[in-house]
Structure 1
Amino acid sequence: MTTHAPLRFVAVGDSFTEGVGDVDLRLPNDCRGWADRVAEELAKHQPEVHYANLALRGRRLKQIVAEQLEPALGLAPTLVSFHAGGNDLLGARLDMRSLIRGFEDAVARLVQTGAKVVLFTEYNVPLSPVLEPLKLRSAVFNKHVRRISATYGTLLVDHWCFEKYQDRRMWAPDRLHMSSLGHEYMAKKVLEVLGAEHSLASPALARLEPRSRAGIMLDDAAWLRRDVAPWLSRRFRGVSSGDNLSARWPALMPPVIPERLGAAAMALVSH
């Protein structure tokens, strides 16, 4: 994908694309994420790369379309990543046909710009029996994402098929978002789909030590108290964890590489 033409990369979506789980207190919303990492790698190998990330946690498809699609199109991107539908699949009531139709309409609008578009399948998080009923929903949705990708000629990052995500270390403690390791590996897979040069390696994960039954029960209890209860409370109240947040990088700019930031620059980008 390395070219001499300017690259304008715009990331659209929910917490997956915002970077939740890849904690970095130096950056807006205290996270980094795979999209930042992709932009950083692209900038190392191309002369002019600008990047915007409009994604926000908790957003459902209709919100993403209403809040992010027009701003994204207004940035005249040459590369767009689009991930949506994951929060819809978690809902108690789901109109799958409406979800798929809305997803396809959004993809059609992005493709019409002439930008290269990257889509993603959802992943069946394997870390809790509580989440197992989502598998069928995700499988049906993913079937249509693959069809839509083929129909509109987009690139596809088939997250569902990545076996490394069977390892719990690839996931944050909340069991729904990728960990820093997971985000870095996702960045690698996205760059591979783009056919772009990069310096990212697959994580070297030592064999996991087996956990005792008591340890598993304690971990599950902590997860239910720390993550599931607040999530259910927000759902009941009709609020989202992203309600008081703004897009991390709302305007096109050169990618920010945290390791190269001085103290003054870190304070500037984090506020």
Structure 2
Amino acid sequence: MADHLEILDLNSYAALGDSFTEGLNDPAPDGSFAGWADRLAWMLAAGRPEGEFRYANLAVRGRLLDQIIAEQVPQVRRIQPDLVTFVAGGNDILRPGSDPDEVAERFEAAVVQLRESARTVLISTGFDTRGVPVLKHLRGKIATYNVHLRAIADRNDCAVADLWSLRTLQHRQAWSEDRLHLSPEGHQRVALLAARALGLTTAEDPAAPWPAEESHTAAEQRRENLQWARDYLLPWVGRRLRGESSGDHVEAKRPDLLPL
């Protein structure tokens, strides 16, 4: 079912962040990635005259919070969008020894800057990793960061997309094979959640149950977990140990406000 959205007084939108906002593992027709931010932009542009709504996506995979603040936040002052989505800090939280209290302080300083240039700022909480191998051990750290994010939103009048509470994102169908990035349908659920956080009414429900899928035995699940660790987890850990990023030599896919 297509979404029916009332038109907000928002004529331009810039998305800031890392691979989550760049849209990894949600293939677009042109061979790039779409993702929840692109999907949200299409929802916001629906029903408008062609070319009236403008959109920029500055997000780059692998970026840490300080990189996003240095590279992407200043661009908001330049392009002056009506809406900014700012989802950052997740890669920092995943790093050993990182302090969610300190990350949150830097995040809020960036939010203050963004509020000076954009009329509306939307942030999101982090995912609940309770059922994710390895990452489930970081659940308390992510929860601490989320508490800070909600307080930051209250102090700075930001909208919040609460990913932690969206239980449908804990289902395997929400995630791609690497279990680190969303599937296309997972990105759609997040876009719907973000739209509702902005006050839009959507015909589709981000919390709707998933279609039934074939069950797996415990042995099959163990084999899948081992395969996933070999194919995705170990290479990811290796890049971290070598100080490499999947975003090295990658540029923003849509660096300027362009008509949709």
TM-score by length of 1: 0.87
Encode CA deviations 1:203-260: one digit per residue, 9 max, x unaligned. 66223332112211211111111111111111111110011211011111122xxxxx
Encode CA deviations 1:149-208: one digit per residue, 9 max, x unaligned. 001111011110001112110011111211111100111111111123556554662233
> Does structure 1 conserve the Cα–Cα contact (< 8 Å) formed by 2:83 and 2:118?
no
Instruction: Tell me which residue corresponds to 1:177.
Output: 181
| Corresponding residue to 2:110 among 97, 106, 131 | 106
The number of residues matched between the two structures is 252
Report the structure, 1 or 2, having the larger helix content: 1
> Does structure 2 conserve the Cα–Cα contact (< 8 Å) formed by 1:125 and 1:175?
no
| Corresponding residue to 1:72 among 58, 76, 84 | 76
Q: What is the RMSD of the two structures over their aligned residues, measured on CA atoms?
A: 1.8
Instruction: Tell me which residue corresponds to 1:128.
Output: 132
- Where in structure 2 are there 5+ consecutive unaligned residues? 1-5
Instruction: Tell me which residue corresponds to 1:40.
Output: 42
Encode CA deviations 1:61-96: one digit per residue, 9 max, x unaligned. 101001111112211011000000100011012133
Instruction: Tell me which residue corresponds to 2:236.
Output: 231
Aligned residue runs from structure 1 range 138-153, under 5 A: 138-153=142-157
Deviation at 1:45, TM superposition (A): 2.5
Kindly report structure 1 stretches of 4+ aligned residues shifted beyond 4 Å.
197-204
Amino acid at match of 2:251: S
SS in structure 2 of the partner of residue 58 of structure 1: coil
Establish whether residue 206 from structure 1 lines up as the match of residue 208 from structure 2.
no
Encode CA deviations 1:22-54: one digit per residue, 9 max, x unaligned. 123624xx3110110111111113342100000
> Does structure 1 conserve the Cα–Cα contact (< 8 Å) formed by 2:36 and 2:188?
yes
> Does structure 2 conserve the Cα–Cα contact (< 8 Å) formed by 1:127 and 1:168?
no
SS in structure 2 of the partner of residue 159 of structure 1: coil
How far, CA to CA, are the matches of 2:149 and 2:47 in structure 1?
A: 30
| Corresponding residue to 1:215 among 197, 220, 224 | 220
How far, CA to CA, are the matches of 1:214 and 1:99 in structure 2?
A: 39
Identity rate of aligned residues, in percent?
Answer: 37
> Does structure 1 conserve the Cα–Cα contact (< 8 Å) formed by 2:26 and 2:183?
yes
> Does structure 2 conserve the Cα–Cα contact (< 8 Å) formed by 1:16 and 1:177?
yes
TM-score by length of 2: 0.91
Amino acid at match of 1:220: N
